[in-house]
Amino acid sequence: MLAIGEWRHLCVDMQRMFAEDTPWRVPWMERVCPQVEEMAGRYPSRTIFTRFVPPGHAEEMPGKWQDYYKKWWMMTGKHLPTEFIDLAAPLASLVPPARTFDKRTYSPWVDGRLHDGLQSERVTCLVITGGETDVCVLATTIGAIDLGYQVIVLKDAVCSSADETHDASLELLGDRFSVQLELLTTEEFLSVVA
């Protein structure tokens, strides 16, 4: 049986800007929503939703992020309606008791706030869902491993806009990080903690 310490569900970027008709739409998101909703709905007080928040203008970001937002100018705060930063329905209704954590980069670990908060709650295990598997989920997962967390990725509750890199990311995580990470289905995880 899987031994799980004090855990939190870290749901990555399940936001309207990725669920609705924008250049960053992730068509798979709809497929994994039922599993994400099941996790967050069962354990809202253990759920933290990260939100990717673009800058108002490209110049507000450092280095190569400026080039990134010059390419994706239509997704900056100047052009993107603010409500697109919100969580996709019906996840938004879970806050509170679920919490949100806003970030400006793929990884939520860059400024230390999330790690400090989790450490103050004595969290040792993170259960990761959301999107995209090959970008923000990957950055979140690798960062959590680097910080020493036990990591469980729910493979049926993560999504991407590209099948090939989604599959490759799960294979990489399962093979190369097998000592620090478990790949489970949502049902498998819920059967362990139920």
Tens digits of residue pLDDT in 4-54: 889 999 999 999 999 999 999 999 999 999 999 999 999 999 999 999 999
* pLDDT > 70: percent of the chain: 98
Q: Average pLDDT, whole number, for the chain?
A: 95
* pLDDT > 90: percent of the chain: 91
- Separation of alpha carbons 81 and 146, rounded Å: 35
Query: Taking the domains of the chain in order of start, what are their residue ranges?
Result: 7-54+87-193
Task: State which CATH number among 3.20.20.370, 3.40.50.850, 3.30.465.10, 1.20.1260.10 fits the domain covering 7-54+87-193.
Answer: 3.40.50.850
**In the predicted model, what is the mean pLDDT of residues 64-93?**
96
147-184: pLDDT as tens digits: 999 999 999 999 999 889 998 999 999 999 999 999 99
pLDDT of residue 4: 84
- Separation of alpha carbons 160 and 52, rounded Å: 15
Contact 156, 35 (CB under 8 A): yes
pLDDT of residue 154: 98
Distances (CA, A) of 43 to 7, 22, 37, 38, 46: 11, 30, 10, 8, 5
pLDDT exceeds 60 at position 108: yes
**In the predicted model, what is the mean pLDDT of residues 79-102?**
96
pTM, to two decimals: 0.95
Contact 31, 147 (CB under 8 A): no
pLDDT of residue 3: 74
